[in-house]
Amino acid sequence: MKFGVVQFPGSNCDQDCLYVLRKVLKRDARLLWHAAGDLGDVDCVILPGGFSYGDYLRTGAMAAHSPVMRAVSTFADRGGPVLGICNGFQILCEAGLLPGTLIRNKNLQFICEPCALRVERNDTRFTSQYRPGETVSIPIAHQDGHYYIDEAGLERLEKNRQIVFRYTSNPNGSVADIAGIVNEKGNILGMMPHPERASEKILGSEDGLKLWMSLNGS
């Protein structure tokens, strides 16, 4: 599987993702510039964390309308897998590829710490290597990670089983403890925690590696 990692002005986890994909997972991975009109021959797109366009206006708002996102949207429409991490999740919501949005943390603080998550589903192409209900430790690093959706939207998420990760101890005020969701078709995952920062033992957790392995085998 060939991975493409999108680089927006202000992305700062792009190199971490490339490192994990190339050196740990040992797969072909390349950078895709935000102004690119097409994705080449990649089989999976990663939208990395960071502060695209300086978080101006709203997190992810500007990046959601960059040329590469038109190509990502077409790729996703055809069923291609897309993973948005942190700022990538915010961008997917702003682009309308995932429902809801991410707003300021309830306590207004930037929170950077290991975080316990419950894997709600292992029947997605992103989570097949996990056990259902398993608790994993994957760090968060965000100030705008408070997932918000209205009641009707939350009902749809629950009914369609779109919630993939929940915080076991909600750090940011997210509705229904949501840490990560998929679209109805199941080929787009957005999550606030950073699996690329938990993919080697030396970093304190390898729990994120199973996500990359799931994707690689999907």
Partner 1 sequence: MKAKIYVTLKKGVHDPQGEAVLGTLKHLGFKDVKGVRVGKYIELNLDGVPADKARHRIDAMCAKLLANPVIESYSYELD
Residues labelled as active-site residues: 86, 194, 196
Q: In the complex, what is the shortest distance from the CB of residue 93 to partner 1, in angstroms, rounded to a whole number?
A: 8
- The residue type found at 8 is F
- State yes or no: residue 10 binds partner 1 (CB under 8 A): no
Q: Is 29 helix (H, G, I), strand (E, B) or coil?
A: strand
Q: Quickly count: other Cβ atoms within 10 Å of residue 105's Cβ.
A: 19
- State yes or no: residue 57 binds partner 1 (CB under 8 A): yes
Binding region for partner 1 (CB under 8 A) out of 101-109, 123-131, 161-169, 182-190: 101-109
Q: Is 94 helix (H, G, I), strand (E, B) or coil?
A: helix
Binding region for partner 1 (CB under 8 A) out of 16-24, 40-48, 98-106, 163-171: 98-106
* Binds partner 1 (CB under 8 A): choice among 2, 22, 58, 118: 58
- State yes or no: residue 56 binds partner 1 (CB under 8 A): no
Q: In the complex, what is the shortest distance from the CB of residue 141 to partner 1, in angstroms, rounded to a whole number?
A: 18
- State yes or no: residue 55 binds partner 1 (CB under 8 A): no
Binding region for partner 1 (CB under 8 A) out of 93-101, 186-194, 196-204, 208-216: 93-101
* CB of 147 or CB of 212, closer to partner 1: 147
- Nearest-angstrom CA–CA distance, 197 and 30: 18
Q: In the complex, what is the shortest distance from the CB of residue 99 to partner 1, in angstroms, rounded to a whole number?
A: 8
- Nearest-angstrom CA–CA distance, 174 and 59: 16
- The residue type found at 104 is R
* Binds partner 1 (CB under 8 A): choice among 9, 80, 114, 173: 173
* Binds partner 1 (CB under 8 A): choice among 70, 106, 131, 185: 106
- Nearest-angstrom CA–CA distance, 23 and 26: 5
* β 116-119/135-137 pair status: antiparallel
Q: Quick one: 202 exposed, middle or buried, by C-beta within 10 A (0-12, 13-18, 19+)?
A: exposed
- Nearest-angstrom CA–CA distance, 20 and 4: 13
- State yes or no: residue 101 binds partner 1 (CB under 8 A): yes
Which DSSP string corresponds to 35-56? T-S--TT-SEEEE--B-GGGG-
Q: Which residues bind partner 1 (CB under 8 A)?
A: 57-58, 61-62, 65, 93-94, 100-101, 103-108, 146, 148-150, 173
